[in-house]
Structure 1
Amino acid sequence: MTLATNKAASSSAPWLSGAAPGAGLARAAVRSDADRAEVERYDPLSLLPADTVYECIAASAAAAPDKPAIIHMKSGDPADTVSVTYRDLVSDIEKAACLFSEAAQGEVPVVSCIVPLHPQGLVAVWGAGTVGIANPINPFLDAAGVASIMNSVKANVLVVGTSQFGAGAWDRLDQIAGAVPTLKKIFLIGDTDDDRSFAKALAAQSTAGFASLKRRKGSEDSVYMPTGGTTGAPKIVRHSQDKHLIDAWLMGALFGASEDEVVAQGMPHFHVGGLVAASLRAVLFGQTILILTPDGFRNPGVVGGFWNIMKRFKVTSVIATPATAAALLAAPGSDHEGHSIRSFGCGGSTVPVELLRSFHKRFGLYLRELWGMTEFHGVTTGHPDHGGEPAIGSVGKPFAFHEVKAINIEDGEFAGEVPNGSEGIIVVKGACVGVGYVDPRANEEFFVKGMPDGDVWANTGDLGSMDEEGHVWIHGRAKDLIVRGGHKIDPKVIEEALQHHPAVQVSAAIGRPDARRGEMPIAYVQLKAGSDVSADELIALCQEQISERAAVPIEIITLPAMPMTAVGKIAKPQLRVDATTRVVREVVSQMAPSAEIRDVTVDQTGKRPVARIALTVPESEKASVTQKLEEAFTSFEFSTELSFQAA
C-alpha cells in the first residue's frame, strides 16, 4: 500500500534524531500536549513503514537481521533462554503463512491460537493474520468455552500448546476438536515428537511459495480477539493490522521508540496488552522482546527474581497489572539497585493510589497507569513521562488521534455531556476504535447513537470523568457499581480504603445480593504473605476512611488467593458467584433447615443471574420447602431454579 505523505516536521517536534516523518518508520517521544499536537499533524499511517504487521517486522529485520527480536526465558532460570533473530522471525512468519494457507484447503485461514507465552505463539498469530485471521484464545477457558469461540469464528486451523506448559485447554484437545466441525488441521507447540508439531512443520516448510500467497490488506479483519470477560461472557472483537500498528506506534511514542529498548513481556498473547502494547510495539521499533517464561507473571520465579532478571537482560520497559505490581512490592528482599527500567506501565484494572506511592517510594519508579480496551485494539490513554509524578489516580491523557469524553447515555443514545469533574459514561473516538464485533448484534450497545458531531463514538461501559487538563479518571465499570437501595456506590472507594492497611495485598468490592436493598457492599481481600488482620479491624478502617456511610462494607472475606483472569485482572464475576452462593446457602438454611444442599451453581450468562439449587428433602416436605424458598427468593434480583432428590 502507498501511504500518504505529509508536511515536514517542525524544528521543535518530538521526533527522535534522524527519525522524523518521511520514508520509513518515524520515532517520537511524546511528553507533552504540544508533542501530541505535533504528532497529530500527520496521518497516523504515514508514520509507519507499511500498514501490515509482516511488512513492518520485515522492515525491522532489514535494518538489523541478526539482532534478537525475541529472547524467551524457558523457565524461571534466566540462564535458560532461547533467542530468535529478526531474520528468523520473518522467515518463520512466512513459513507459518504458507502452512496455514495450505491447511485451510482453499478457504481463508482462520487460525485459533491457544498458546502459552512462546515465540511460536507470536509466529502463529502474525503468520495467521498475514494471510487470514488469527483467533487468540485464553488457554484457561473450559472446553465448552473454547469450542464456542472457535465455532463463532468458524476456525479451520488450530495452533495449541501441550501439557509441557502445565494445565490448560490443550488437556481437552480431543473434546475441543470434536466440537468444532470446521476444523481441518491442528499444530502443536511443545511436543516436537508429535507429527502435528508446529516446530517440525516450520522447519520443513519452504518460504518459496510465500510471495504468491494472497495476503490480507492492512484494513481487513486479521484478528478475532475475545474480550477479557471481566463482567460476563467474552465477546469477539474484529481487529485489523493497521489499527494494531497505529496503537503499537503510539505505545512506543509514550514508552520508548528507540531501537535499544528491551521490553519485558509477561502478559498473555491472547490479550491486547501482551500482543499489541508489548510485543508488536517492540518489533515495530526493532526492539527486543523478553518473554518472561511461558507463564509470564504467573510464574513465581519471575516475581521472586524480577529485579535480577531485569538487570541481567537490561530491560528498559515493563507493562504489568496492579496485581503484579503489588506482588513485586510485597516480595521480600528485592535488590532493585542497578536496573535499567525507564518506563513501568500498569493497566488492566485501576491502580490503587497507595500502591502507586509505595511502589515509587521503594523502587524509585512511577507506575504510569494505562487504560484501553480490546475494542480499541489496545491502549488508549497513558501518562507522558515529563520527569515528574503522574496525575495519581487518573489513567492519563488520550493518545494522539483519539478523543475521550464523559457523557450521559439513555437507551444507547447521547443525552448530554457532563461538566469536568462530574461522572458520566466514558466514550471514545479515534484511529484505533474498531468496527465492532463478530456478532453484529453486540454493536447495538457499543456504538453511541446521536453524537452531536456525527462521528463514530464507542461506549466503553466505564464510569469516569475528565478534568480541565484533559486527564481521564476511571471510576469503575458501570456493571461493577454497587446499587444499595437505588444508591450507587463506587467499589473503588472501598478498595482504596482497604489498600491503606499494610496487611492487604489486593482487594475487591462487590455487591452482595440483598432481598430488601438489592445489593449490599462487601469486600474480598488477599493478605500479604505472613500477615494477619481480622475482618472487624478492616471494617473499622473502612469506617474511618469512607465518608459515605452507605459504602462501608457489611462483610469482609479473606481469601488465600484472589481469583484473577488470565490477564491479571480481578475476576469479579467469580466473586459475585461466591457471594450469591453464600446468600443462597444462608436463605436455604434459614427457611428450610430440613433440606440438604447438594449443589449451588450460578449462571451469569443471561441478563439476569440464575441460581440453580439442588436439594435433598423428604418427599413429604417437598411442596412446603418449594413454597418457602420460592417466596424467600422472590425479592432477590437473581432468579432461582430448584431441583429435588428424595431423602
Structure 2
Amino acid sequence: MKIATLADLEALEAQGFEAVFPQRTPYEVIRASAARAPDAVALRELRPEGETVLSYAAFVERIRAAANLFRTMGVTGERAVALLTPHTAAAQTALWGAQLAGRACPINPMLRPEHIAELLAEADAALVIVMGVNAEQDIWSALVPGLRAAGVRLPILDCDADAPCPGSDGRFEDLLEAHAGPLGFDIPGDEHATAAFYHTGGTTGAPKLVRHTRLNEAHVARSCAILHDLRADDVVVNGFPLFHVAGAFVYGLSTLSAGGEILIPGRLGMRDPAFTGAIWQQVERRGVTILAAVPTLLAAFNGVDVDADISGLRALLTGGSPLPTELAEATERKTGKPVRNILGMTECAGAIAVEPLHGPRTPGSCGLRMPFSEVVALADYGDADPDTSQQRAQGETGIIALRGPNVSPGYTDPARGRDTFPGGGWLVSGDLGHIDTEGRVFVTGRKKDVIIRGGHNIDPQGIEDALLAHEAVQDAAAVGMPDAYAGELPVAFVTLRKGADLDEAALIAFLRARIDEPAALPKRIAAIEAMPLTPIGKVFKPALRRIATGWALRAAAEQCGLSAEAVGIEVDDKLRASLTVPEGAEDRLRAALAGMPIEVSVSTRTEAAP
C-alpha cells in the first residue's frame, strides 16, 4: 500500500508485524527478491573499463561463496570481517557474506591506521578486506603498511584491484570462485543476533562501535522501501559508502528488498566528477528513477544544467544533514521532481523518520516515524540521566527519543551509552524537536554538539581534547560552521595561556597528527578573550555558533564579490540571519547561501553593487 499520512501508516501497522515484515534478516530479504526475479539486476557498478552487473541469483551465489570463504578464515558467529573499502559490488558481497558467517564491521578507510587497529580489536575481527591498488584510488599502498605498523597481524585480502597489492594475503574475487556452492554451515543465531558493528561519534579516543541486529537492518530497509514506495522497476543511484548506514540500509538494502537495481557510481562514488558533473545525462542513460544524495550534492546538482530527458526520474531522496527549505525548493523547481527528507542515526540502522514519497514535503519536517516504532519528545533533563517517562505534548519542543525494531541494542562498551541508551528499549537521539498533530517529526536543533559534515558525524570533544593538549591552549571549544556544500564545517575557538600567541597554522599542524579523521580537522581556529558560559559554568556553544555563522555569511558574500562594507549581517540568538545587500546582488547571494542549513532572509538597499 502507498503511505502518505499517519493514518496510512497506522493502517499498515494494523496488518500486523509478521505480515509487513515477513523477512527478518538481510539475507532473507535479498534471497526473497532473488526468488521472485532471479534474472533481474541487483547491482550495476560503473567502472572506467566497463560495467559490473550482478543479477539477484548471481548476487546470492556470491554472498554464499563469501560466507563460505570467511568461515574457512576463522569467522564465526562471534567474530567479524572488517571492510575498508568504498562502495563497490565486491564490498556489497563481502558485507552480506560477513553477516552470514559472523559479523561485518565496515570502517572508514580514511581513519588513521592506529584508530582502525583499535576498532579491529574492539570488533574482534578475524580478517580484513581492503580495496587494492587501482588507477582511480589507491588506498592500499598507505593503509596496509600503516595497519601492519600499528600491530595488525590479521589476514588482509585485497578487492577491486587492477594492479599487484604488496603484502596481500589473497584476492577476494579469486577466492570467491574457490568457495562457490551451497552454504557449508548453519547460520548462527536468529534475527536478534548481532549482524554488524558500525563506528560512530569519535575522531579520537577509545573506539565507539554500535551493534546492529539482523532485525534492525531488515526493519529499516523494508520500512524505507515502503515509505519511499520503492519498486522492482526502480534504478536507485547509491553512491554512499557502506560504512555509512545510508549506503548500506536506507538506500541499499531497501532497494534490494523491493527487487530494484542499485546503481553504484564506482570506486569514487559521488566524488567522481565524471558522474556528478553529467548527472542528468546519467539519469537518462542509466534509466535512473531514484537519486539519493546528501543536501550538499543536491546543491551541486542544482549547478548542472538539465541537459537530458529526466522524465523517468521519480524522486530525489536526501538525508544525513539538515535539508534547507530553499535548497529543496530550488531542486524541485529545477527538476520538476519531489525532494524527500529523512532523519536517521547509526544507532538505529539509519532511520528514525522518513518523508513519504506520496505525502507532501513539509518545510522543516523529517517525515513520519518508522512502522511499529514510537517517537516522542522528552522534557529537558539537563545533566541528569534521561527520563523517558517525562514526555512533551504534541507540538512542544523536547529531546527526540525513539524505540522500536530499528533501535540498536547499544554500543559494544555499554558504559559509553548511558545517555543514549537509557533502558527500556529507548534511544535518545540528542536532537531537539517536536512531533506535530499529523505525526510528522521536526528537528529544530541539537542537544548534543555533534558536527555534521557532508552527512558524517564529527565529535567536537575529540577536536577539543586535541587542542587542550597544546601547551598554549587554556580552553577550547569546537562547533559547526554552516557551509553551502558540506552542511557544516568544524571550526574551533580557544583561549590562550598568559603570554601565548595564536599561530593558527602551527596549531592546525599540531592537530593533524592527533586527529584520526581528516574531515574533523578545523577549517579555522580563533582565539577569544573568554569563553561564553552558561550560568553553571559550561561553554555556551550557541554563542560560538553565532560567531561561526557570521563567518560563513561573510565568506559567502565575499565569494559573490561583495565587500564587507557593502553587506549588513545580523545573526540572532536562534541563528536566524538577516542580510542587507546592494540592489542587484540579492539573487546571486541567495544562490550562494542555498545549501546552508540556516534560516536566512536577504533584503536590498538602493545603492550600486560594488
- Verify same fold: TM over 0.5: yes
* In 2: Cα distance, 1:250 partner to 1:392 partner: 22
1:140 aligned residue: 110
Cα separation, 2, equivalents of 1:197 and 1:212:
23
Establish whether residue 468 from structure 1 lines up as the match of residue 437 from structure 2.
Answer: yes
2:405 corresponds, among 428, 431, 446, to 431
Residue number among 554, 564, 575 corresponding to 1:536 in the alignment = 564
Could you tell me which of 46, 62, 67 is aligned with 1:73?
A: 46
Name the stretch that deviates more: 531-540 or 374-383.
Answer: 531-540
Measured in 2, the distance between the counterparts of 1:428 and 1:255 equals 21
Matched, 1:359 2:385: no
Question: Does residue 329 of structure 1 match 2:302?
Answer: yes
In the other structure, the counterpart of 1:485 is none
Query: CA 1:505/1:180 → structure 2, altered by over 3 Å: closer, same or farther?
Result: closer
User: Compared with structure 1, are the counterparts of its residues 163 and 189 closer, same or farther at alpha carbon in structure 2 (3 Å cutoff)?
Assistant: same
Give secondary structure in 2 for the equivalent of 1:432: coil
Partner of 2:318: 346
Query: Does the 8 Å contact 1:108/1:131 carry over to 2?
Result: no
**Which of 275, 278, 303 lines up with 2:248 in the alignment?**
275
Aligned twin of 1:7: none
Deviations along 1:361-394, one digit per CA (max 9) or x if unpaired, are: 1111232110011111121211123364x11112
1:4-58 Cα offsets, whole Å, 9 max, x none, are xxxxxxxxxx2xxxxxxxxxxxxxx222222201221244344344322223222
Residue pairs, 1:36-435, within 5 angstroms: 36-75=9-48, 80-104=50-74, 108-164=78-134, 165-168=136-139, 171-180=142-151, 183-191=154-162, 196-208=170-182, 210-227=183-200, 229=202, 235-331=208-304, 333-386=305-358, 388=360, 390-407=361-378, 408-410=380-382, 411-414=384-387, 416-435=390-409
Say if 1:311 and 1:173 are closer, same or farther in 2 by CA, change over 3 A.
same
RMSD value, Cα: 3.4
Flag structure 2 segments of 5+ consecutive residues without an equivalent. Answer: 452-478, 495-527, 533-542, 580-594, 598-610
SS at match of 1:479: coil
Q: 2:448 aligns with which of 467, 479, 490?
A: 479
Residue 290 of structure 2 contacts residue 313 of structure 2 at CA under 8 Å; is this kept in 1?
A: yes
Q: Secondary structure at the match of 1:99?
A: helix
Whole-angstrom CA distance in 1 between matches of 2:208 and 2:75? 28
Q: Larger RCO: Structure 1 or Structure 2 (Cα < 8 Å, ≥ 6 residues apart)?
A: 2
C-alpha contact 1:218 1:241 (8 A) present in aligned 2: yes
Q: Deviations over 1:570-624 (max 9, x none)?
A: 99xxxxxxxxxxxxxxxxxxxxxxxxxxxxxxxxxxxxxxxxxxxxxxxxxxxxx
Taking structure 2 as the reference length, the TM-score comes to 0.75
Residue 103 of structure 1: how far off its partner (Å): 0.4
Q: How many residues align?
A: 502
1:536 to partner: Cα distance: 2.7
Q: 1:338: how far off?
A: 3.0
Of stretches 114-123 and 438-447 in structure 1, the one that deviates more from structure 2 is 438-447
* Residue 420 to residue 171, structure 1, CA distance change in 2 (3 Å): same
Q: Which amino acid aligns with 2:218?
A: L
Pair 167,480 (structure 1): closer, same or farther in 2 beyond 3 Å: farther
Shift in CA distance, 69/457, structure 1 to aligned 2, threshold 3 Å: same
* 1:516 pairs with one of 517, 521, 530: 530
**CA separation of 1:538/1:81 partners in 2, compared to 1, >3 Å: closer, same or farther?**
farther
- Residue of structure 2 equivalent to 1:458: 427
Give secondary structure in 2 for the equivalent of 1:128.
helix
Contact 2:340/2:355 (CA < 8 Å) preserved in 1?
yes
Question: Whole-Å Cα distance in 2 between the matches of residues 536 and 238 of structure 1?
Answer: 49
Q: How has the CA–CA distance of structure 1 residues 367 and 465 changed in structure 2, closer, same or farther, with 3 Å as cutoff?
A: same
Asked if the contact 1:139–1:169 (Cα under 8 Å) also holds between the matched residues in 2, the reply is no
CA distance in 2, matches of 1:198, 1:506: 36
Question: How much does 1:182 deviate?
Answer: 6.4
Is the 1:57–1:283 contact (alpha carbons within 8 Å) kept by the matching residues of 2?
yes
Determine if contact 1:111/1:128 at 8 Å carries over to the other structure.
yes
Residues 314 and 339 in structure 1, CA contact (< 8 A), matched pair in contact too:
no
Q: Deviations over 1:76-100 (max 9, x none)?
A: xxx9312111121111111100110
Deviations 1:459-514 (A, max 9, x none): 111122222322222123323399xxxxxxxx99x95xx87xxxx89665867444
Q: Is the 8 A contact 1:101 1:108 kept in 2?
A: no
Identity, % of aligned positions: 28
The Cα of 1:228 is off from its aligned counterpart by: 5.6
Structure-to-structure mapping, 1:491-506, within 5 angstroms:
495=482
Matching residue's letter, 1:343: A
SS state of the match for residue 381, structure 2? Answer: strand
| SS at 2:344 equivalent | strand
TM-score by length of 1: 0.71
Shift, 1:409, TM fit: 2.2
The 1-side partners of 2:558 and 2:124 are apart by 49
The Cα of 1:225 is off from its aligned counterpart by 0.9
Instruction: For residue 548 of structure 1, report the CA deviation from its aligned partner.
Output: 4.3
SS at match of 1:54: helix
Asked whether the equivalents of residues 307 and 339 of structure 1 are also in contact (C-alpha less than 8 Å), the reply is no
CA distance in structure 2 between the partners assigned to 1:471 and 1:393 by the alignment? 10
Unaligned stretches of 5+ residues in structure 1:
1-13, 15-28, 450-454, 483-490, 555-568, 572-647
